[in-house]
Chains A and B, each alone.
Chain A
């Protein structure tokens, strides 16, 4: 497996280099995750070391009207065999004209405006095993056409292959009591079901406005508990066929950014709406220093009662972003999320990073979960508070 991946990466990179103007960049690094409490479940460890490598090869021709991008990603984890994984983040041919562009291959797109959760962003599957913030995504095979007009950008996507969400193995932390098993699908086509998506996005003076529609396999599974042939309980991810509409808005008002995202999804065990809305207020030169300070708050609402992944049912996030405005680009973001229905359920995070030199950067992330409610997702993670230190080299 590793050999064939290495061969694949080398041969794609080599064929790129036959073309002129090839640029190879990327990053590699090491990460240490340390869990603050003893594990809740057997086979779990206190500390996990891992290394990752993500080169990026880019070439263009026709005066940049055509380009090819290849970005594989590889992580090797000390204990969790499922976190040791390879993914093609991007392998995409792009053609650009004045009023339209096409992207064919494996790619990544981002939709939305809010910070605490990304409801509208649906094209790419979450590489959930990478980080708990859900911002790492798996490469999505796609054919994408976008049309640029004075009335905004119209995009259509055909998504011919489905990527399953990544989950921790039995050796990993941050999982339910049983490691998540093999995927179940509503569609007989399983991963080959062809999904579609449409999006419109425009900037209208002080507003950013987006509307989107998705039809196909839900990126977010529902977890199903069953008993297998050997009489052992199992937790399996079930991927239903869904239709989802989304709207995302942002308004600039002086130092304020006002943000709103909402979706309505049908096709899973219950049809539901979800909303996240809030603000970010940034002020520079606080207390006559060079520092900037951002204050964030977002309210999350989700109609679903009992869903492992519906975390923001009636929750409030408050956060602070410290911007050091220094040469090293130091930034610290910390936040606290309180469940407004269950006072014992809350979570907190801190994300800090800074540059060491023009090629090195360090990052320190911390995530903390708390719940006394046995039905809550965070109840399963209540002993999984952890700190994560990353040292990354960019080339």
Chain B
């Protein structure tokens, strides 16, 4: 649901130089993750129009259009409101999510035909988001405390020198045992994530592409492509428009605003 946070997941930061002394892998990993988060602080709020393209193993495509409002909280995880514009049968269906640093995330769904707000079970985070290859947990905002880290080396991808980190989810009910993350050294942007399932086998690969700079500080990928290597299904998220510093306030992110979201 938090498409934007996904985008967040991909935005970064620099870290102070490591004076050439090899730190402990876990300490260095944590340091990189902290810098990644620190570089993304202060983006305030944003509104995005997202195109989601789902593909099955046979290459058949289906699209969804989503409007995503996001808000940064300084002392907790972010808030996001996602509203479906298409397909038409789910138009007006909306998700509200509060990411938390320590507690379980809170999520609600609004079903417009019944005018009903339903709470979503927190364990549902490992489940797919609307039939896509993104799980609910892939959509929530990146918080340093959600993982433990290990720095495993350097690698160059897409012409960018990257740190390679292994991060293990520390929150309850994750569908993953491990995530391997490629973060570039120049801006601390995530370029690639590998997700390993409960058996330790590679499940999905996320690639974040076409980074653009907003507010002269915040990098956001225009395309995010998630491929399930086990089923060969894939999902792309394409940012069609993205604006920051809108007049959103915290009252735009509650169950009352969920009911009137369009």
Contact = CB atoms under 8 A, between A and B. Distances in A.
A359 interface: yes
A282 B175 contact: no
Contacts of A205: 103
Contacts of B131: 324-329
A99 B251 contact: yes
Interface string A141-159: 0000010100001000000
Interface stretch (A34-42, A164-172, A228-236, A254-262): A254-262
B116 A110 contact: yes
Contacts of A323: 127
Given A146-B256, A282-B121, A361 B89 contact: yes
Contacts of B88: 25, 27, 358-359, 394-395
A252 B251 contact: no
Interface stretch (A6-14, A190-198, A284-292, A301-309): A284-292
B170 interface: no
A146 B254 CA distance: 14
A96 interface: yes
Contacts of B262: 58
Nearest to B62: A327
Interface string A302-341: 0000000000000000000001111111000000000000
A136 to B, nearest CB: 9
Contact of A148 (B104, B117, B256): B256
Interface residues of A, number: 49
Contact of A252 (B91, B121, B128, B175): B121
Interface in A267-291: 280, 282-285, 290
A358 B62 contact: yes
A358 B84 CA distance: 12
Interface in A182-228: 201, 203, 205-206, 208
Contacts of A358: 62-63, 86-88
B115 A108 contact: yes
Interface in B86-108: 86-91, 103-104, 106
Contact of A284 (B56, B89, B117, B126): B126
A22 to B, nearest CB: 13
B87 A355 contact: yes
A328 B254 CA distance: 29
9 contacts: A101-B256, A110-B116, A153-B256, A203-B106, A280-B121, A284-B128, A323-B127, A327-B60, A329-B89
Given A203-B106, A358-B86, A394-B87, 12 more contacts: A27-B89, A110-B114, A153-B255, A201-B255, A203-B119, A252-B104, A252-B106, A280-B121, A290-B231, A325-B127, A329-B90, A359-B89
Interface of B: 54, 56, 60, 62-63, 86-91, 103-104, 106, 114-117, 119, 121-124, 126-128, 130-131, 172-173, 175, 231, 249, 251, 254-256, 260, 262
Interface of A: 25, 27, 58, 67, 94, 96, 98-99, 101, 108-110, 135, 146, 148, 153, 201, 203, 205-206, 208, 250, 252, 254-257, 280, 282-285, 290, 292, 323-329, 355, 357-359, 361, 392, 394-395
